[in-house]
A = this chain, B = another copy of it.
Amino acid sequence: MPRWIAGEVEQSLRRRIESGEWRQTRRLPNERELAVQYGVARNTVRSAIDRIVSDGALIREVGRGTFLSNDRDPDFQSVVRKLSGASPLDVMAVRMIVEPRAAALAAARGSASELEAVAAAHGSATHAIESGAFERWDAEFHQRIFAATRNELLNNVHELLRLIRSQDLWIELKRRSFSVERRLRYCDEHAAILAGLLKRHAEEASSAMLIHLQTVEENLASVPALSPSANTRLYSSARDPPEPAFRRK
């Protein structure tokens, strides 16, 4: 029956792939199952899949199944790969968007014990002797503010930003921008944020956080270029294209 049944099945499969029907497991039903779904012989399904495989949208593995090709449309993994290479300027810009609002939310919604935990981290950072300890309590201070927002996703976003900042280039950057006066200033600014939080004054906490992040950014920007190439990698933002290309045609 030369009525191009395989072609129709192929179209349908492509649509279903596009629609994200199998994005979770990245695995299609097996060929026998699909044959039943379409009321068609298994060979017909196979020839339909053959064509999709041949242009790379699907991958077949004997004994395992048929899977969505890995890097077709961006999935979480591929986005995360790009995340880890973010430039410090971009990171600080995003922090200045997210963290002041997080501080405001924490002031409005955080429980007493959550804010207490923030205060404790501030105290530990203030009294830290060694600079590694200070760094950890500094991070903890910011992290606990996010915890007080009661928004899991927001916490995860902050965690991603923190992970980006725990990479090699960042560590070097922080080391070079470190000084005792700056550390003292950070403590003062943390105190201002904390004061806003404890007073439940969202606006005050928010603007104190913004001021703090501006200080941090200035300090990072003051670091002389590490090397010409490193400089490019560090500071270039997405500056180029007059005509930006959009993904996902």
Residue numbers of A with Cβ under 8 A of B are 2, 4, 7, 20, 23-25, 27, 63-65, 74-77, 79-80, 82-84, 86-87, 90-91, 93-94, 97-98, 101-102, 105, 111, 113-114, 117, 140, 143-144, 147, 150-157, 159-160, 163-164, 166-168, 171, 237-239, 242-244, 246
Which residue of chain B has the shortest Cβ distance to A152 in the bound complex?
A: B238
A77 CA to B77 CA in the complex, in Å?
A: 8
How near does chain B come to A182, taking the closest CB pair, in angstroms? Answer: 22
CA distance A155 to B97 in the complex (A): 13
Q: Using Cβ atoms and an 8 Å threshold, which residues of chain B touch A150?
A: 237-239
A90 touches B160 (CB 8 A): no
Of A63, A75, A153, A155, most buried by chain B (CB within 10 Å of CB) is A153
CB–CB B83/A156 < 8 A: yes
Q: A159 vs B18: C-alpha distance in the bound complex, in angstroms?
A: 15
Asked whether B94 lies within 8 Å of A154 as measured between CB atoms, the reply is: yes
* CB pair B168 A111 closer than 8 Å: no
Nearest B residue (CB) for A20: B166
Q: How far is the CB of A151 from chain B (nearest CB, A)?
A: 5
Contact, CB under 8 Å: B244 / A86: no
